[in-house]
Structure 1
C-alpha cells in the first residue's frame, strides 16, 4: 500500500520528469545528428534566402545543368576545378537572384499570360531564348522552318515523351525570365534625370580650372620617422568602416611546400622506356593497334596538313619517307615517338551535304545501310533530290532543314571516318559511311585546293615522378609535420630552409590559391579550423606536398580593425605625416598674399596646371586627387587655400580662373546619356540591394 500511495502521490512529477528526459534525449540526438543545422543550416541545405532554404539536391541539379551546358558550348569532356568553382558560383548567384526577385514579383502580382507566352514563342519578335535555340547558324536569324517543325513534332508527341517535360521546363524558364524583365523594367521606368542633373553633369565634364599649387609629398618623410598609435588606427578605421565591408567570409593560410617534381633520373628512365619501343614500332604493320596498346593518349590516326601537327615534328614529317620513326622527343609533358604512316596530296577544303540515319531507329546497322542505299538510288535516278529527302530522313535536324548542307570545311572539323570519305573521294561522288552518330549518306559537292597531308602515329608516355622521388619528398613533409606545434611553424620552416608562402583571401568554394591547384580538401579544412591551427596531414597539390596553417579569418560583414590593420597602414601613415607637414605650410601661409610667396617661404617650387575638369580629378604629373580638385571647384579666384590633405601630398593652391563651357543647348540629349549610364548599372544594383535586404546565408563552404 505504501508503494502504491507513493506512486499515486508523485505520479504527475514522475511523468513530467520522464517526458522531460525523453525530450532532452531527443533534442540531444537531433543536435548530434543534424544539430549543426540549428546554428549553421542543415547538411541538406546550401543556404537560405529570407529564411527559405536552398536544397542541396536541387542546387546540385542546377550545377550539373550548368556543367553540361559548359561542356557543350566549349566542346569539353571534363571540367577542371577552376571552371567548376566558377560554375558553382555562377549557379549560386542565379539561384539567389531568382529567389529575391521572385519574392518581389509575388508581392506585385506580376504575371505572364497565355497570349504573351505564345507571342514569345512564335510571335513577330520571339523571346531571346527561342532565338538562341532555333537560330540559323549562318545568318544568326530565327529559323522559323526549324521552329515550326519542332512545334509540329511536339504536338503529336505522346504525353510520356521526355521532350514534353523538357519543353515545359524551357517555357517555364522563359516565363520566369520575362517576369524578371517586367520587374526590372518597372524599376528602370522610375528613373528620372532632370535638367539640373544634366547641367551639373555637363559642367563637370566641360568646365575647366587653371590653378597653381605647392605641395609636400608624404614620401618626403621616411616611414621610420613616424610612430603610429592605436588611436591613429582606430580613428582612421572609425571614419572609413564602410570601406571594410566583406560580402562573404574569406580565409588565408600559410604553407610550406616540398617539391616532388620528376628528377633527372626520372626523366632519363621514362625516355629509355620509350626508346625501347623503337624497333617494334618500325616493324609494326598495324600502327593503329600499336598506338592503342602502347600509347598513353589513344588518338586516332588521321591525315593532317602543315601546322596541324605537333611543332616538334611538323616540318620533319612533311619531308620524311613512309615508315620513318622520329624520337624520343619531349613535348607537352611527355616523351614521344612519331612514325610516318602515309603521305599524299589532298584537297584543302570540301563542301558536302549528308543525310544521317539512326541505326537504333532502323533496328540494325544493316537496315540503316540499306535505307541509305535506297535513298542514294532515289537521288541518282532523279526521282527525288537530296534537298527533298534530307529534312524528312536525316536525324541531324540542324543540317536537315537546310537540305543536308554542311557548308565548306577543312580537315580536323569532322569525325575521321567521315573526313576520310569526303577528302579521299571525288567531286560529285556519293559515299555511305558509318560513324558513332549513325549511317551517313554523303554527297561531295565541291573540293578546293591541294596540299600535302600526312598520317602520323604517335606513342607517348607522360613524364611523372617515380615512387622514389615522391617518397623522398613525402618523407620530408612528414618529418616537418612531426616537429610542428601551434607556435613554431615559422621557426621550423626557417630551420628547414623553407619559404613560408600565403594563400590570401580564399573563399569557401575555391579549389586553388597561393599558386596551388586542386586543393579543395585543404580549403574545406581551412573553413573549419581556428586561427593558428595547422593541418595535421600532408596535402598534395600537383607536384608538391603541402603543410598549411590557418593565418587569418575575415568574417562576412564589417571587418574588425585587427584584420585590416596591415591594409590601412599606408593611409594611417600619411595622416600622421600630414600632421608633421601642416605646420610648415601654415607657417608659409602666414602673411603671404600669393602662391609664389608661400612657395618661397616653404622652399617649394610653384607648379602651374591648366585645363583640369571636375569629372577627371587628376593633377598632371602627380596623382588622382579627388579632395583637392573638389575643393578647387568650390573656391574663389585668386584666393589662397588652406592646406589640403590629399592622397599623395599636402597642397596649398590658388585658382587663377575658370573657363566655363558654352551654354548647354541640348539638355534632352545630356539627360539621355546620363540615363543610359544609370540603366547599365541598374540590374546589378537592384539585385545587390535585394540580396542585402534578404539576409542571404551561404553554407556552401561547409557542405560542398
Structure 2
C-alpha cells in the first residue's frame, strides 16, 4: 500500500523522466545500437569542414591511394615522410572539395551536359582524356578505344567512367574558378612602371658600417623592456599559421658495437662457406638474406653500385663476397648470364580460375584461346570477351615495359620468348595468354642468388641501450630534463615548430608516435614512452605548446634573443656614429675607425650588398635619398650603416607596356589563386584531428 501511494504521489515526476529518457534514447539510439557509447563516433572523425565530419573510414582509402602513387613515383616502401605527404594530400583534397564546391554554388559555376560531352569526345578534349586515351606513338586520341570505354556496360568500366567524368567536371569547374580569379586582378600603367623601375634603375653609393659583431655579446645586458619593444614592433612576424609543438630529447644509441660487428663477420663467413656448397641456391638465399632479391634475371644497375659492377663482370658460376658495402655484407652467386631485350611490348588475356571452375578449366580455356589466336582469331576481341584484367578494353594491350614491372612468371615468358610468340603461363593472378608484340634492345642480364646481412646491433647491445633509456625516463619525471641529461653526459637535442602531421623532426627518422604523444601532452610533460628510432631509443620532454595565432612574448623570447641583442647594439652603434658628427663620409669613417665602401649598380628589387648580406633597409633608404647627402644611421641585418648616394641611372622608357603588364599579371594571377583558397580556409570552421590517427 505504501509503494502504491509513493507512485501515485510522484507519478508526474516519473512521467516527465520517462519522456525525457525516451527522447534522449531516440536521439542517441543510432550511436549506441551496437553497444558502443554514443561518443564513439567522435573517435572516428579525422576532422570537420564547416560542420561536415570526415570519417576515418572514408579518409583512409584516399590516403592509401596517394601512398601507392608515391611508392610508384619514388620507389621503395612507405616511410614516415611519404605517409605524411599522402595524408596532407588527402586532407588538402578534402578541403578543396568542400570549400570550392560551396564557392562554385555561391558563384553559380556549373558544367553543362554539352560542355561535358565536348570535354569527353569533342574538339577540345579534357587533359585527362588526352592522358588516358592518346596513342603513345602518334600522340593522337584513340577514338575507338575512348568510345568503347564510354559505351561499356561492364560494372567496373561504368564505375571507372563515372569517376573519370566526375574528375573532368571538377577540373573544368576549377579552371572556370581560376579564370574568374585571374580576370579579377589587373595591373595599372603606374604599377607596371614602378615594377620596371625597381628592377632596372641603378644606384651607386658609398657606405660606412659598424658591425654588430664589433660589440661582444657578453657586454650587452638585455632588459625586459628590450624584449617587449622588439616584440611589439615586429608582432606580425609571430603569427603562427597552425598549432605547433616544441620538444627536447636525448638519444640512447643502438648502433652495433665492435663486438657486434665481429659476431656478424663471423656469421657471414659461415654463411658464405655454406652458400658455396648449397644444393638449392634460391632457397638458401631466401632463408638467409635480410634483403630479398628476386631469383630471376636482373639488368645492371639494380644492386648496390659497389657490388653491381663487380657482379656483372663475372661469368656464370662465379662466387662474390662476403663484401662489406654500406651497412651490410653481400654474398652473391652468379647462376647464369645472357643477353636479353631491354623492354617488351605485349598483350595478354587474364583468366581467373575462380570464375571458370578451377585451375584445370582455366588452363584448358587458356590453351583453347592460344589455339584460336594461332589460327588467326583477333587477340583483341578474345581479350575483350574473356579477360578479367582492366586492359581488356584496350584489346589486352599492356604497352611497353622493362624488367621488374611484371610478376616473375609473366616477365620470364615475355623476355625469354621472341616477337610473335603466344605463351600460356600461370601467376598469382591466374592464367595469362601472352602475345609478345615486340622486343626492344639487348643487354646483359644475370640470374643471381643473393644474400645480404645487415650490420646491426646485437640483442645485448639493444637491451643495454633500452635499460639506460628506461632508467633515464624513470629518473627525469619530476626533475629538470636538461640538468639531468647534462649530469649523465647526454646531449640534449631540440625540435621546434613541429606541426601535427609532419613526418620528420630534426635528428629523428621515425617521429610520428612521438609527435602524436606531444600533441596529447601538456607543456612541461615528459612524454610517456621510450621511442624507437632506427639506431637509437629516444626520451623526450614537451617544452612548448604554441597555438594558432599571434604567439605571446614568452613563447618567442628565446627565439628573438639574438635580434633583440642586435637591436640594443644598434642603439650603441648609432650613438657612436652620432658622436662622429655630421661631417663628410670620409671624416665619419676616420672617426669611427672604418673605411668607406663603394657599391655600384644596385637595384631596388635585389637589395644584396656584394660580399655583405641582403640589406633591405639600407637599399630602401638609398633609393629614397638625394645624391650627395650623408644619411642618418640605418639599422641593417649585419650592422648599422651611414651612406651617401653618388647618383642614379634611370632605365630607358618601357618599350612594350602590354608585355610588361602581361608578365606581372601572370605572376599576380598565380598568387591570387593561392590567396583566394587561403581566404576560404581562413573563413571556414575547420577542425583537424589527423594527429590522432596518423
Q: How does 1:135-284 map to 2 (within 5 A)?
A: 135-138=134-137, 141-153=140-152, 156-157=153-154, 161-278=155-272, 280-284=274-278
**Post-superposition offset of 1:554:** 1.6
Q: Secondary structure at the match of 2:594?
A: coil
**TM-superposed deviation, 1:544:** 1.6
Aligned 1:36-51 pairs, distance under 5 A: 42-51=42-51
Residue 469 of structure 1 corresponds to which residue in structure 2?
461
Pairing of 1:555-704 with structure 2 (within 5 A): 555-590=547-582, 592=583, 594-704=584-694
How big is the shift at 1:351?
A: 5.3
* SS of match in other structure, 1:42: helix
1:549 aligns with 2:541: yes
Q: Give the SS at the match of 2:520.
A: coil
Partner residue, 1:367: 364
Give the 3-state SS of the residue equivalent to 1:683 in structure 2. helix
2:665 aligns to what SS in structure 1? helix
SS at match of 2:54: strand
- Give the direction of change, closer, same or farther, for the CA distance of 1:554–1:276 in structure 2 (3 Å limit): same
1:91 maps to 90
1:104 matched residue in structure 2: 103
Q: What is the 5 A alignment of 1:446-465?
A: 448-449=441-442, 451=444, 453-465=445-457
Cα distance in 2 for partners of 1:572, 1:464 equals 47
Question: Is 2:332 aligned against 1:338?
Answer: yes
- C-alpha deviation, 1:693, in angstroms: 1.8
Which secondary structure does the structure 2 equivalent of 1:146 belong to? helix
In the aligned structure 2, how far is the partner of 1:42 from the partner of 1:447?
A: 56
1:311/1:234 CA distance change after superposition, 3 Å:
closer
**Number of positions where the alignment pairs a residue of Structure 1 with one of Structure 2:** 684
Aligned partner of residue 554 in structure 2, secondary structure: helix
Structure 1 Cα separation of the partners of residues 417 and 285 of structure 2? 27
Task: Determine the C-alpha separation between the residues in 2 that align with 1:536 and 1:490.
Answer: 17
* Cα distance in 2, alignment partners of residues 174 and 539 from structure 1: 45
Q: 2: CA distance between counterparts of 1:64 and 1:442?
A: 33
Deviation at 1:574, TM superposition (A): 2.0
Q: How many angstroms apart in 1 are the aligned matches of 2:3 and 2:289?
A: 87
Q: 1:697 to 1:373 in 2, by over 3 A?
A: closer
Any stretches of 5+ residues in structure 2 without a counterpart?
none
| CA spacing shift, 1:331–1:396, aligned 2, 3 Å | farther
Cα distance, 1:84 vs structure 2: 0.7
Kindly state the Cα deviation for residue 331 of structure 1 after the two structures are TM-superposed.
4.4
Deviation of 1:191 (Å): 0.7
* 1:440 and 2:401 aligned: no
More moved, 43-52 vs 327-336: 327-336
1: CA distance, partners of 2:616 / 2:421: 73
Distance 1:516 1:241 in 2: 32
- Could you say which residue in structure 1 is the equivalent of 2:113? 114
Deviation at 1:435, TM superposition (A): 4.0
Q: CA deviation at 1:246?
A: 0.8
Deviation per residue, 1:405-454 (Å, 9 max, x gap):
845x6655554444444554456655444444542333475675564x43
**RMSD after superposition:** 3.9
In structure 2, relative to structure 1, the CA distance for the partners of 1:56 and 1:312 (3 Å cut) is closer
2:294 maps to what in 1? 300
TM, length-normalised to structure 1: 0.86
Deviation of 1:462 after TM superposition, in Å, equals 3.8
Residue 133 of structure 2 is matched in structure 1 by 134
- With 563-572 and 8-17 compared, the bigger mean Cα shift is at 8-17
Q: Deviations over 1:530-551 (max 9, x none)?
A: 2221124322222322211111
Structure 1 residues 363-408: Cα deviation after superposition (integer angstroms, max 9, x where no partner): 63322432343134224xxxx677887777777776985895845x
CA distance in 2: counterparts of 1:580 and 1:48, whole angstroms: 53
Find the residue that maps to 2:601 and give its secondary structure.
strand
CA gap 1:322/1:202 in 2 versus in 1, 3 angstroms: closer
In structure 2, C-alpha distance between the alignment counterparts of 1:94 and 1:475, rounded to whole Å: 44
Contact 1:356–1:441 (Cα < 8 Å) also in 2:
yes
Correspondence for 1:70: 70
- How far did residue 514 of structure 1 move? 2.8
State the secondary structure of the residue aligned to 1:483: helix
Which structure 1 segments of 5+ residues have no match?
none
State the alpha-carbon separation in 2 of the partners of residues 172 and 426 from structure 1: 42
Contact 1:266 1:465 in 2 (8 A): yes
What is aligned with 1:328? 322
**TM-aligned CA distance change 1:288 to 1:173, over 3 Å:** same
Residues 1:284 and 1:444: Cα distance change in structure 2 (over 3 Å):
farther
Q: 1:35 to 1:614 in 2, by over 3 A?
A: farther
Is 1:425–1:444's contact at 8 Å kept on the other side of the alignment?
no
Residue by residue over 1:334-370, the C-alpha shift from the partner in whole angstroms, topping out at 9 and shown as x without a partner, is 4443223223x42454655444343446663322432
* Aligned equivalents of 1:311, 1:69: Cα separation in 2: 26
Alignment partners' CA distance in 2, 1:601 and 1:318: 73
Q: Quickly say closer, same or farther: Cα 1:10–1:423, change in 2 above 3 A.
A: closer
SS at match of 2:332: strand
Structure 1 CA distance for aligned equivalents of residues 398 and 692 of structure 2:
52
